[in-house]
Amino acid sequence: MSHLQIFPTRSASPANSGSPTAASLASSDPALIGEALAARGIGFERWPARVELPEHAEPAEILAAYAQEIARVQASGTYPTVDAIRLTPGHPDRDALRQKFLAEHIHSEDEVRFFVEGCGLFCLHIGEEVLQVRCEAGDFLRVPAGTKHWFDMGSAPQFTAIRFFDNPEGWVAQFTGDGIAACFPLLD
């Protein structure tokens, strides 16, 4: 189930790593999640994850299965490049990828994801808040360019997401060097 928690950044310190003070908001209500994120400039929608993918589906197969949703997003002309990422507990690079995504970073373009299987935790550092959005199958999330964030896929990742880009190079991050991510809970 999708879930949002909002924490004040002042609760973040290396001394309380992984245990910030109580969340100012915690909800699994999709409407409330959408409203809270929209108030901070983040797009969130629930779409049907209508296709059960084969266990070893390749990216081309995933993209073909969700061609309607991809066409809907690309109709605006904003995100001409699309790919699919699927990570499983047996992925040989899961630990290295997890560490890379856990470092706070920004992008010069929007980060847009449609989760079609599994889950992942997007953590958004906006002003004096950290918003943790547990995205599940059916969640469409649009994080505007320049938003500080990190992503946790857990130690045994199990998710498939369709990623939309306006940059043909795909995922390009600029790391902030801030250690704030270590001060908040992980997906596990």
The whole-number average pLDDT for the span 13-41 is 84
pTM for the whole structure: 0.91
| 13 pLDDT higher than 60 | no
Predicted local distance difference test score (pLDDT) of residue 172: 76
pLDDT in tens, 130-139: 999 999 999 9
Residues found in the chain: 188
Does residue 133 contact residue 124 with C-beta atoms inside 8 Å? yes
Q: What is the mean pLDDT of residues 20-39?
A: 92
Single-letter amino acid, residue 167: N
Kindly indicate the confidence band of residue 20, based on its pLDDT and cuts at 50, 70 and 90.
Answer: low
pLDDT tens, position by position, 30-80: 999 999 999 999 999 999 999 999 988 999 999 999 999 999 999 988 899
Beta carbons within 10 angstroms of residue 158's beta carbon = 15
pLDDT at position 162: 97
85-100 average pLDDT score: 91
H or E element: which one contains 70? helix 67-74
* Structural domains of the chain, with CATH: 3-183 (2.60.120.10)
Q: Are 152 and 104 in contact (CB under 8 A)?
A: no
- Residue 154 Cα distances to 41, 92, 102, 114, 178, angstroms: 26, 14, 10, 18, 20
Name the more confident of 30 and 100.
30
Quote the pLDDT of residue 167: 76
- What lies within 8 Å, CB to CB, of 40 at 6+ separation is 124, 126, 129, 131
